């Protein structure tokens, strides 16, 4: 586990919710609509922070579905619990590189604004694949293109200064390593979206 990065995000937790604009919510909501999430689905939110996606996802899966958010910042997890105290939304304090979740038990995994921060992205890909059912989807979202993200993280500095997304060919290899099929990557200013299906 990357203690420096973890400390950095712990320190961001109290003010984190203020960093989202109405436009961010609108784009995120549009993307989530496009994922065709079915009622009763079980979804894992990898690097969930304070749970910005929880309410949108909860409405999609309905009362028989389930959302499990995982984050290694205890403070982020605590805030997520306070923000979304719903029966079918669970917040887990854990490392996405070693998910404390059952194999083959999720219909979808989503990582929003987080994948670039994962130290061992190959391990996260393996873990996402492990927890998904066959045919399950994995979506990696950032609301900036990969180039903008590099510049942004350099400006932010500190432990996240070098955080970045893999180049397309490397992301393809990561998905292949996780036995994902039908990989699609969009990378342009304002959006990075990589999606694939577990084979």
Ligand X SMILES: C[S@@+](CC[C@H](N)C(=O)[O-])C[C@H]1O[C@@H](n2cnc3c(N)ncnc32)[C@H](O)[C@@H]1O
Question: 116: which 2 tokens?
Answer: 């670039």
Contacting residue, 31, 61, 113, 131, with ligand X by CB under 6 A: 113
H runs (alpha helix) in the chain: 3-12, 22-34, 54-61, 74-83, 121-131, 146-156, 168-177
The C-alpha torsion from 37 through 17 and 164 to 28, rounded to 10°, is 30
163 binds ligand X (CB under 6 A): no
Q: Pick the piece of the chain touching ligand X (CB under 6 A) from 34-42, 44-52, 172-180, 187-195.
A: 44-52
Footprint on residues 3-22 left by ligand X (CB under 6 A): 5, 9
Closest-CA residue to 93 (of 10, 193, 23, 178)? 10
**Which residue's CB atom is positioned nearest to ligand X?**
49
Minimum distance of ligand X from residue 181's CB (angstroms): 25
Minimum distance of ligand X from residue 52's CB (angstroms): 4
96 binds ligand X (CB under 6 A): yes
Q: What 3-state class would DSSP assign to 189?
A: coil
Q: Pick the piece of the chain touching ligand X (CB under 6 A) from 59-67, 112-120, 126-134, 167-175.
A: 112-120
**Cα 99 to Cα 111: distance, rounded to the nearest angstrom:** 13
Looking at beta carbons only, is 85 or 134 nearer to ligand X? 85
Contacting residue, 72, 84, 180, 192, with ligand X by CB under 6 A: 72
């Amino acid at each position: 586990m990357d203690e420096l990065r973890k400390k950095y995000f712990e320190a961001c937790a109290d003010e984190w919710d203020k960093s989202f604009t109405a436009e961010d919510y609108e784009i995120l909501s549009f993307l989530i609509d496009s994922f065709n999430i079915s009622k009763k689905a079980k979804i894992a939110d990898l690097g969930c922070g304070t749970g910005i996606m929880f309410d949108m996802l909860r409405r999609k899966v309905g009362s028989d579905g389930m959302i499990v958010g995982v984050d290694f910042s205890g403070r982020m997890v605590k805030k997520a619990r306070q923000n979304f105290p719903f029966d079918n939304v669970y917040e887990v304090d854990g490392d996405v590189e070693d998910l404390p979740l059952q194999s083959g038990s999720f219909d979808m995994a989503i990582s929003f604004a987080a994948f670039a921060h994962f130290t061992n992205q190959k391990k996260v890909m393996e873990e996402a694949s492990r927890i998904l059912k066959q045919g399950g989807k994995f979506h990696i979202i950032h609301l900036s293109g990969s180039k903008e993200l590099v510049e942004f993280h350099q400006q932010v500095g500190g432990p996240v200064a070098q955080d970045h997304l893999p180049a397309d060919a490397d992301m393809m290899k990561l998905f292949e390593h996780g036995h994902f099929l039908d990989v699609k990557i969009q990378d342009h200013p304002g959006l990075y979206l990589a999606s694939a299906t577990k084979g």
